[in-house]
Amino acid sequence: MGQIWTVTMYIASSLTPKKESNRFLLLIFSPKPGRLNMATRILFLVLLFICSSGNAYDPSPLQDFCVADLKSPVLVNGFVCKNPNLAQANDFFFAGLDKPGNTSNPLGLGVTPVTATQIPGLNTLGISSVRIDYALNGLNPPHTHPRATEILVVLKGILYAGFVTSNPENRLFTKVLKKGDVFVFPIGLIHFQLNVGETNAVAISSLSSQNPGVITIANAVFRSKPQIHEDVLTKAFQVDKKVIDALQAHF
């Protein structure tokens, strides 16, 4: 007779502890009692790798905190921890979100980020924040955060906000947001906000990564270094070469 091996596995998450909702039972049958054959061992290791890495975006903390050593020359996924005995309250503190960002630019947009670079104590905690200021008609142009979901709270003004789903549907979800309203932009999806009110607008966003990243679509396409070949863009956008030249010159 063979033997059934019972293994309890947890889906790793940088945001949630081990609990019933992310635990499952894996039953493995071995034809020879007392041991697993090579193929079964390989299958087990593959499943273990998938379950331990597939749901984790930021590194999960293995200690109370890992204050970033921003001066360390060592390159890792995130920041190296400094000696926890040297941590101070200021490592977990940032002052300045009460101050308006500079909106004197073509977009009328001011962004004040609060990531692990500004608060070293955020390192490995999988969260960050940002204050966004919008001048009249100010625009946070279509962009994406490759490593984070975003939740936005309007503190002042009126914003037209939305996001677009992935291919092939490309569905547009939009909402006009007023003071106190909240809107969510799922991870990786292109989204935007436009000030449609009669005053300046202010919002605070929280993101599910210490370093969510930003890819502004227009900048990525028309201001890449080196530039994307014009034949690629004329065919992709189905426009004349002169249009592409003008856009690349503008950006």
The verdict on whether residue 150 carries a ligand-binding annotation is yes
Contacts of 209 (CB under 8 A, 6+ apart): 57, 58, 126, 127, 128, 145, 147, 148
The verdict on whether residue 143 carries a ligand-binding annotation is yes
The verdict on whether residue 191 carries a ligand-binding annotation is yes
Contacts of 133 (CB under 8 A, 6+ apart): 100, 101, 102, 103, 109, 110, 111, 112, 200, 201, 202
The Cα 69–Cα 81 span in angstroms is: 6
The verdict on whether residue 20 carries a ligand-binding annotation is no
Pick out the residues of the known binding site for Mn(2+): 143, 145, 150, 191
Pick out the residues of the known binding site: 140, 143, 145, 150, 191
